[in-house]
A and B are shown apart, each in its own frame.
Chain A
Amino acid sequence: MSATPNRRPFDAGRAAYLTLNALLLAFLLLPIAIVLVFALNPTPYISFPPVGVSLRWFEKFFGSAEFMNALWLSLWVASVVLVLSIVIGAACALALSRGNLPGRAALTAFFMSPLMVPAILTGLALFQAYLLSGIGRPVWGLIAAHTLVAVPYVIRTTLAVLHNFDRRIEEAAAVLGASPVRVFFEVTLPLIRPGVFAGGVFAFIVSFDQFPVSLFLVVPKGETLPVVLFNYMKFDLDGAIAAASMVSILLALSVVLVLERLIGLKAYVKL
């Protein structure tokens, strides 16, 4: 007589759990699918159901000097913000976690505060501060503003890595003859790098998608993509907006994928 395999009993909790997950995923992904449908639909206004597939809105987007200038400016600003915020954010996180600073909790809260304040207020406040101090609205002012709101993301992901960091590993390097500087570059930096770069991804996206802060700080003919899209939408609501959105999503996705490939974000950081 052969043994019959045990049938797994129906598990209502598990079924509910899977259904909930499917619903959440649908909630997150459906809007993107809808944007894609609109971007490919050739009708001159946003309508449903779609009548065909065409790339005319992508052509319009890539053929428009206004959109292209804005896209390059956004990419350029976001790249500089990425670099600045990982340097500043990693340094802050190291100081907060290692520095034995007085009032460490208060300092941490202070550095994270740009996350708490609505971005529109940050934008308005910076706008007034820049005007009052006679700085005006140069590109570096915009970069500084974006960096301000992006740095907390890097601090947070780096602190998460530092929290689980076994300092014995650094001590082992020191006993083996590594000076403090060498310990940092040989051991500390390689081990916190995934956390720093994970924060860098957020920083890039925060800057690239930044609307409320940018709104106050850009000048005519020097507007970032979200601001240009907003202005465009006020008068035209055609597929070019959807096409621009798709390009933004793909750019953000490719940044995540490239960093994941290079350093394997998911292996180290629970986002």
Chain B
Amino acid sequence: MTSAAIKLDQVTKTFDGRVMAVDAVTLDIAAGEFFSLLGPSGCGKTTSLRMIAGFEHPDSGRVHVGGKDITDLPVHRRDMGMVFQSYALFPHRTVAENVAFGLRMREVPKPEIERRVAAALAQVALTGFETRKPGQLSGGQQQRVALARALVVEPPVLLCDEPLGALDRKLRQQMQFELKELQKRLGVTLVFVTHDQEEALAMSDRIAVMNGGKVEQVGTPTEIYERPRTRFVADFIGEINILDEGGQLRALRPEKIRLVAAEGARLSGTVETSNYLGGSTLLRVQPTTGPSMLVRETHAGARASRAPGDLVGLTWNDSDAVALES
């Protein structure tokens, strides 16, 4: 399968002439990359995706795919795959007919359609479901039909709009693995829209964190988590302590803080609450001065050692307190 690079160049979209949904966004997505657009609702991630798909036309800026400017190309000529949160299967057609649809539109000969539909259904472990209607399938199965339908045409680009949002936690985790594996095996460029930071961290090669129609930061999951550039990114992803050092804000992850003896520590305070999370315990510590701090105490086997009321000392490495842009 061939894959294509995607480039958004200063793309802007307003709705009703006023609401700035996407504000001069520039993104370079490499061919074969698993790229996530992450942010809260209304941040412009879905609108960006819909402009790549062609459902929305940017007010200004250009969209390039595979080196070609496709800004003015209608949706049906863009040759992409897309998976929707609601799956958007054709309810009046069988599973096989759903998967065959894109091939039929491309006027692929019938025997080849049958062969490729069978292969696509095998790929998502749905062999034997050909004659079912979507209404007779579970959410996870519908999800896989939607995936097979999008991938059977071998698109160079696969767009996913919160495709796992409607699944329960266990199934979602399983689909995360399956989707990532499939993407790597096929080598397709995948643009993944999600508001779930764990999902984005787990699956992506790179993530663009969006806020208010703008891209706050683009980077690998490690960069986004370990080196947040702005306060928004630091806050949005995981738990964070924001330290104010004479006007310079620094972000410090709770797990970078070590618990030490109270005397001679950088900070000392009392444990206010202790939330046992299984693999770790999240403590809220109130220092003698300043705002309270989140501290993650990881324990390999041993149970949490601190209880509310305990006096503890906190320390960390300077390099772990990341300076934020103001």
Contact = CB atoms under 8 A, between A and B. Distances in A.
Contacts of A177: 76-77, 79, 102, 105-106, 153
A171 B80 CA distance: 12
A191 B153 contact: no
B236 interface: no
A173 B101 contact: yes
Nearest to A187: B90
Given A174-B76, A176-B153, A178-B76, A168 B88 contact: yes
Contacts of A169: 88-91
Nearest to A194: B92
B75 A175 contact: yes
A178 B101 CA distance: 9
A169 B81 CA distance: 14
Nearest to B153: A176
Interface string B57-97: 00000000000000000111111111010101111100000
B55 interface: yes
A104 interface: no
Centre residue among B77, B82, B106, B159 by max chain A CB count within 10 A: B82
Nearest to A179: B76
A217 to B, nearest CB: 40
A: interface residue count bin: 10 to 19
B53 interface: yes
Q: Is the interface of A mostly helix, strand, loop or mixed?
A: helix
B91 A175 contact: no
Contact of B105 (A168, A176, A180, A191): A176
Contacts of A175: 53, 75-76, 78, 80-82, 150, 159
A91 interface: no
A178 to B, nearest CB: 5
Given A174-B75, A187-B90, A191-B91, A182 B105 contact: yes
Nearest to A169: B88
Contacts of A187: 90
Interface of B: 53, 55, 74-82, 84, 86, 88-92, 101-102, 105-106, 146, 149-150, 153, 159
7 contacts: A166-B88, A171-B53, A171-B82, A172-B82, A175-B150, A177-B105, A178-B76
Interface of A: 166, 168-169, 171-180, 182-183, 186-187, 190-191
